[in-house]
Amino acid sequence: MLSTDIQFTDVALAVDEGLSKMPKRLPSWLFYDDTGDKIFQAIMHMPDYYLTGCEYEILEMHKATLLNKFTGDGTPFNLVELGAGDGLKTEVLLKYFVDHKTSFRYSPVDVSESVLQTLQNRLEESVSGLTIRTINEKYDEALNQLTGNDQRKVILFLGANIGNFKPDEAQSFVNKISGSLQIDDLVLIGFDLKKDPRLILAAYDDRFGITRDFNMNLLTRLNRELGAQFQIDQFSHYPYYDPETGITKSYLVSLKDQRVYIEALDREIKFSRWEIIHTEVSQKYDIAMIERLAQKANLEIVDYFYDCKHFFCDVLLRKKV
């Protein structure tokens, strides 16, 4: 069972709404229970998932430049990271900043309380002297808390998390980030760039089946938390990449005509053979798309930071006057 009524309501309502749509869909935040968190950590370290290594390389190569950009005139700042996860890449910056006596506070934001607790415990040991305040909220709630706060802010949105939004949703979200900023506040956003389609697809359909396990665990979570009766072996994992639009999608595919009862909803969901549940989107970007996104959000591009292969790009943006 879920630990709180609020948590139960969030999950149950999302499932009820998503499985009532045509085509059926479930929000990607449902991936992240305790098991999903662990599987995603494994994904980030697997050979086919190039994104983590590329961004780690960027932060390692450009940490001095980023420190110079972040500190500006030396005013203390709040380093807010949306979707912090395990924070291993960000730790590159945190250690460097602390070693250089930078005046800042680190505020990681994540929907998973267990991930935040693990992150805080590790950083308190590995980065001596770091001031940290975790924020266990969804992105929107965290940004609402930041809006109107006069303290200078630098927001991190790394890991290509921007790709989890459809293009119009990404624009709305970046607009919301921009709305939470004061003039000259900064935001660093990680973008996975368009590249060889085969390379991209392998990151979501890896040879070891770890991405498959991540997708399938969503059904296991619903069985456990909502009393659903999904037969896991009657669904399969299917990813798809469209190089024209840059959109990657992941699906769960029903292998037979079936009905699945969900106790918490007191309803039965009908699936036809080969019917899909859309579970994830990952948008890949080119520079023109990034520039349009920034312009519409009233943000100016300060600099681009690439890995050596130009597979990935962290883009630093500033709130315009």
Please tell me the total number of residues recorded for the chain in this structure: 321
Enter the pTM of the model.
0.87
**Residue located via tokens 């999302």:** 14
Written out in words, the top-level CATH class of the domain with range 50-193+286-319 is alpha beta
Q: Rounded to the nearest 10 degrees, what angle do helices 90-99 and 113-126 cross at?
A: 40
> Residue 6: CB partners within 8 Å, gap ≥ 6?
none
Within 8 A by CB and 6+ apart from 10, the residues are none
Task: In whole angstroms, give the CA distance from residue 279 to residue 23.
Answer: 11
Q: What are phi and psi of 275, to 5 degrees?
A: -70, 150
What whole-number distance in Å separates Cα of residue 86 and Cα of residue 121?
Answer: 11
Contacting residues for 294 by C-beta, under 8 A, at least 6 apart: 174, 300, 301, 315, 317
Measure the CA–CA gap between 234 and 252, rounded to whole angstroms: 10
Residue (of 33, 70, 47, 60) closest to 214 by Cα position? 33
pLDDT along the chain (321 residues), means of 10: 50 95 94 90 90 95 96 88 87 96 94 86 94 90 81 93 93 95 94 97 94 97 96 97 96 98 96 97 97 97 97 96 74
Tokens of 160: 């290509």
- DSSP H helices in the chain: 5-18, 34-44, 50-71, 90-99, 113-126, 139-146, 167-179, 197-204, 210-226, 287-296
* CA-based nearest residue to 283, from 192, 214, 168, 202: 192
The DSSP secondary structure of 217-235, one letter per residue, reads HHHHHHHHHH-B---GGGE
* Domain positions in the chain: 5-31+200-283, 50-193+286-319
Distances (CA, A) of 252 to 223, 272, 278: 15, 12, 7
What is the structure's pLDDT at 57? 97
